[in-house]
C-alpha cells in the first residue's frame, strides 16, 4: 500500500546478505536440477516487503526463521523495489536485477546472497521489476515443484511484463497462482490515481472470468479492504482526506483501499470470477489483534489504524480444500511484520482428490 505518512528509509550499503540470477525459470528454458518433483503446491505465503533490500539488511534472520518454520511451497512477494536490468536509455529487462553500476552490483550481490542462503536456496525465483526502485514482485517456488509456465502479464504473455512489475502468474498441472501488487487508488481522479485503479480492476475482472478453466489462487497486496470488518476503524477510513480534498463522486471518498467504488469493484471481481476470500471463509468475526495485514505508523494519527489488504483469493472449487489461512502479524506495534508495514499471510490447502490431479 502506498505510504502517504511514513518517510522512506535510506537504502545505503551494508555488509549483509544473492540468489542465482533469476534465469531460474522454466519459461527461460533452463535445465533444472534433478529433484523429487511434486505436482501441486499446498502451502503458500504472501508478503509485501516494502523494499526487499531493506528487509534483507535489517530483518532477514527473523524472516528467514519464520519461513523455515512455516516451510511454504510458494512465496509471493510484493514491493520488491529493485530496479530492472538495463543501462540508462537502454531497454529494460524486468525479469533481471540491475547490475550495470557499482551500487547496483553491490545491492544485487547483497540480495542474491540472502536468497541463496537457507531456507531460500531451496527455491527458484522469478522477478518482475519496475525501471526504478518502485513496486515490483517476486515469486519463489520450491525446486521440487515445476511450473508448466510462468508469465508476467494478465494476458498470459511470457515475454511481456506489466508496467511496474505488478504481476507474476505461475501455472501448475492442477492450478494457477497469481501474485499481484495492485496500484494504490490515490486520492484524486487523475491518470495515476482513480483512473489507473479503475483500469486495473477492469483487467482483473476480465482475467478471472476468462481463466476459469483451471482453479486459481490469487494472492498479494490487493490494496483494498472489502468490508467494514476488514478495517480497524471504519469511520476513520471512510472520512479520510488528503489536504482537505473531497472527490466529486461520493463513492471515491475516503482512504485509498476503502472507498466504496473500490470495494464494489472488488466484490464484482469475486462474484463474476466465482472466487472466495480464503481468510474470511475461515474467520467470520472481526479480530482486532490479528485480523489486519497492514498497519499505520505507530507514531501519528495512523497509530492503531489497520487494514486487511493482503489476501489469498481462491476459486470456489478450491474452497473446501482451504485448511488454514492466517495473518501472521498482530498488534499496533507491528509484531511479526519484519520491518515492513505489511505482515505475511499464509494459506494451506488440503490434499486434492486423485481425480483432481
- What gap in Å lies between CA 144 and CA 122, rounded to an integer? 9
Which residues are known to be catalytic? Answer: 181, 221, 342
289 appears as a binding residue in the annotation: no
Residue 79 among known ligand-binding residues: yes
The continuous run of DSSP H or E covering 138 comes out as strand 137-142
- CB-CB neighbours of 30 under 10 Å: 10
Q: How far apart are CA 91 and CA 62, in angstroms?
A: 37
230 is an annotated ligand-binding site residue = no
Is residue 283 a known part of a binding site?
Answer: no
Is 221 marked as binding a ligand? yes
Count other C-beta atoms under 10 Å from residue 32's C-beta: 12
> String of b and e for 285-318 (b: at least 16 CB within 10 Å)?
eeeeebbbbbbbeeeeebeebbbbbbbbbbbeeb
Peptide bond into 246 cis (omega under 30): no
* Residues 88, 55 contacting (CB under 8 angstroms): no
Asked if residue 155 belongs to a known ligand binding site, the reply is no
First-to-last alpha carbon distance for the chain, in angstroms, is 36
Radius of gyration of the chain (CA): 19
> In the structure grid, which three cell numbers stand for residue 327, read together?
495473518
Q: How many CB atoms lie within 10 A of CB 189?
A: 13
Task: Cell numbers for 187, please give them.
Answer: 486520492
Among candidate residues 132, 231, 240, 234, the one with its CA nearest the CA of residue 185: 240
Residues facing residue 169 across a β-bridge: 151, 178
Residues annotated within a binding site for Mg(2+): 48, 79, 221, 223, 341-342
Residues annotated within a binding site: 48, 79, 221, 223, 341-342
Amino acid at each position: 500500500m502506498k505510504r502517504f505518512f511514513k518517510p522512506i528509509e535510506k537504502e545505503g550499503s551494508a555488509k549483509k546478505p544473492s540468489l542465482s540470477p533469476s534465469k531460474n525459470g522454466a519459461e527461460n528454458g533452463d535445465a533444472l536440477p534433478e529433484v523429487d518433483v511434486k505436482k501441486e503446491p499446498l502451502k503458500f505465503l504472501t508478503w509485501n516487503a516494502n523494499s526487499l533490500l531493506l528487509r534483507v539488511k535489517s530483518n532477514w534472520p527473523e524472516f528467514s526463521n519464520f519461513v523455515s518454520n512455516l516451510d511454504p511451497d510458494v512465496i509471493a512477494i510484493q514491493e520488491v523495489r529493485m530496479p530492472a536490468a538495463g543501462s540508462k536509455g537502454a531497454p529494460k529487462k524486468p525479469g533481471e536485477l540491475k547490475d550495470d553500476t557499482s551500487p547496483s552490483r553491490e545491492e544485487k550481490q547483497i540480495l542474491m546472497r540472502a536468497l541463496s542462503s537457507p531456507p531460500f536456496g531451496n527455491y527458484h525465483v522469478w522477478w518482475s521489476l519496475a525501471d526504478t526502485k518502485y513496486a515490483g514482485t517476486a515469486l519463489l517456488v520450491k525446486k521440487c515443484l515445476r511450473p508448466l509456465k510462468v508469465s508476467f502479464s494478465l494476458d498470459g504473455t511470457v515475454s511481456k511484463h506489466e508496467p511496474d512489475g505488478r504481476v507474476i502468474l505461475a501455472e501448475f498441472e492442477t492450478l494457477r497462482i497469481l501474485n499481484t501488487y495492485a496500484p494504490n487508488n490515490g486520492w484524486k481522479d487523475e491518470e495515476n490515481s482513480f483512473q489507473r485503479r479503475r483500469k486495473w480492476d477492469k483487467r482483473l475482472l476480465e482475467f478471472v472470468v476468462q481463466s476459469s478453466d483451471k482453479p486459481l489462487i490469487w494472492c498479494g497486496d490487493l490494496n483494498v479492504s472489502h468490508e467494514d470488518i476488514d478495517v480497524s476503524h471504519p469511520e476513520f477510513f471512510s472520512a479520510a482526506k488528503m489536504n482537505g480534498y473531497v472527490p466529486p463522486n461520493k463513492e471515491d471518498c475516503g482512504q485509498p483501499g476503502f472507498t466504496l467504488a473500490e470495494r464494489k469493484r472488488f466484490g464484482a471481481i469475486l462474484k463474476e470470477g466465482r472466487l472466495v476470500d480464503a481468510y474470511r471463509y475461515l474467520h467470520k468475526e472481526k479480530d482486532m489483534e490479528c485480523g489486519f495485514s497492514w498497519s499505520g505508523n505507530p507514531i501519528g494519527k495512523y497509530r492503531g489504524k489497520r487494514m486487511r489488504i493482503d489476501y489469498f483469493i481462491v476459486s470456489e472449487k478450491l474452497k473446501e480444500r482451504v485448511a488454514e489461512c492466517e495473518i501472521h502479524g498482530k498488534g499496533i506495534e507491528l509484531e511479526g511484520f519484519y520491518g515492513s508495514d505489511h505482515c505475511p499471510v499464509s494459506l494451506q490447502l488440503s490434499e486434492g482428490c486423485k481425480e483432481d490431479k
